[in-house]
Structure 1
Amino acid sequence: MSRAEQIAEEIRHRIVTGMLRPGDVVPSTRAIMRDHNVAMATASRVLALLQDEGLVEATPGRGTVVLAPAGADPAVLTADGVVGVAVQIADAESLAGVSMRRLGAALGIPTMAVYRYVPSRDDLESAMLDRVLGEVAVPSPSGAWRTDLEGAVGALWQVMVRHPWLAGALSMTRPAALPSAMAMSERMLACLVEAVGDPVQAFTDYLTVLHFVRGVGLTLELELSDLAETGLTNDEWVDTRLSDLRRVAPPEQFPTMNAIMAAGYPYDADVLFESGLRVLLDGLAARE
C-alpha cells in the first residue's frame, strides 16, 4: 500500500464511521502535507483517491468536502433501509451474493459509502439475521405446551421458507446475540421446561428441535439453486436418475428401495418439516 493509499484509508475511515459527515471539509492538500510530512503530489493523490471512490468532492470556496451518497431513494439510505436491501439480495441470490460491492450497486452508491450505514460485513449479516427473525410471529400462548411449541416452531419455519438463506446463516454452536430471536426462544424453552421439568434437559431438547428445523431448512436454498442451474424440479431430476438408481440397487437385493421407487416419492420440504416435527413432539409427549 502506497503512502497516499495509507493516508486515504485514514480519512476514509473517518468518513465511513461518521466522524466526518456529509458537507464536512476534509483535510486540504496543505494540511495533509503538514500532518503527514509528504510531498504535494502525494497529498493531491490522497484527495484524488477519495474523489474516485465518490466519497468527497471539491467545492469552490470551501475546499474538499464529504459527499452525501446519491443515486438511491433517501428513505432507503438509512441503516435499516440498507439492511432491508441486503435481505432482498440474499432472498433473490443467496447470502453469499451479499457483498459490500453488490449492495453499493443496488443502492446506487459507492462501495465505501455502504460502510456509513453498516460498520462491517459481519455486522451486516447480524443485522440481516435480526431483521428476518423479527418476522417470526409467535402465536399467543394457549396454555398447552405442545400447541404453543408447535406454533413457535411453525412460525420459524415459515420465515425460513420466505428467506431460504436463513438456515445456513444460523450458527447452532456460537449463536449471535439477536434481540429479535429472544421472544421465540423464550416461548420454546418455556414450553419444553413445562414438558420435561428439568431445565437442562429442556435446553437439550430446544437445541434438538432447532437442529431439526435448520436441517430441513438447509435444503431450501440448495433446491432453489439446483432448480436454477438445471431447470428441473426435484421430482423431474429424480426421474432422469431412476435408471442409475436401479442399476446400483437391483430389486433382488434392495426390494424395499425398489418398491418406493416404483411408487414414486413426491419430495416436499413442508411435508418433511411437518412429519419430522410431529415425530419429535410425540417423543417429547411420551416422556411426560
Structure 2
Amino acid sequence: MLMILVAIITTTSRMPILVPRPYHSQERLITAGIWTVHFGIDNEGRDSQYRMRDLIQDMELDIVGLLETDLHRIVFGNRDLTRVITEDLGYYVDLGPAPNEHTWGAVLLSKFPILESTHHLLPSPHGELAPAISAVLDIWGQNVTVVVAHNGQEEDPLDRELQSAELARIMATSFPEPVIFLGYVVTRPHAPRPNPYEILISDGLMHDIDDEDMDRWCEYILYRGLYRTAFARVSRSTITDTELQIGKFVLPRSGHTIVNASREERYLRDYREVFPPTMYVSAQLV
C-alpha cells in the first residue's frame, strides 16, 4: 500500500501544472524557433536540458521545433528531452515519429493548442529515414500549420530532392492558409533544384524569412500568410554547436488574408488592415 501511495505522489508531483500561454497575445505576435539539439548532449558531453530551457525562456518562444531528439530507447536512457521544458515553461507537446521508426527525431512545442498532427517519414531510397511533423495550431481562433522537419544529408542528393518535394506538397496543400516551416534543410540559399531551397520555396508556395542572409546551410525558417516582423540567429556556444534560429510574425486579423504579397510588402510592415481602404490610399498620397 505504501509503495502504491509513493508511486501516486511521485507521478502527481511530476505532472505539468503550468497552462500554456503565448507571450504576446495582445500584439498577436508569434515567436517561432528551430534548433538542432544533438540529443540533449552539449559540446562538453554533459546534459543540456536545463540550458536549453533557459534559452527558450529567454527568447520567449511560442513555437519551438527541436531536432535530433529521439532518445526513447535503452541505449540513450529512455530520456525525454521535452520533460524539463514542458514542466517548467508550459507547452503543448508533439513528440513526432515514434522510436521504432528509427529517425533523427523531431519535436514540436507550442504555447497554442495543437488541433491535429500528422507524423511523416520522408522518402528515402537510400535508407536515411528523415522525420517531419505537420500540425495545425489554434492561434487566436485561426488555423496555422506548422511543419517541423529534418532532411537527409548532402551525401544523398536523391533523398534530399524527394524529401523536399514531399515537404513542399504538404505545405502547398493548405494554401492560402498561414504556414510556418521550421527545418533542417542542408542547402545554400537560392540554390536551384534539385537542391531543396527552390523546391521548398516555389513548390511549397513559401517565403524565406531572410532571403539576403547567404550564410546559412542547415536550418531555415520559411513562412506564408503572416506578417514577417523579425529574424535572429542566436548562438549560445556550448549548449550545442548549432544556432537557434528565431522568427517573429504577426497573425493577420480575422478576415484578412495575405496572398501574393510583393517582396517590399513582406519586408516593410504596414498596418493597412487596421484602416479603411480610403484612409490607406490617402495616407500613401501624403
Q: Which has the higher contact order (CA 8 A, sep 6+)?
A: 2
Quick check: which has more Rg, 1 or 2?
A: 1
Higher strand share: 2
Short-chain TM bin? under 0.3
Higher helix share: 1
TM-score computed with the length of structure 1 as normaliser: 0.25
TM-score computed with the length of structure 2 as normaliser: 0.25
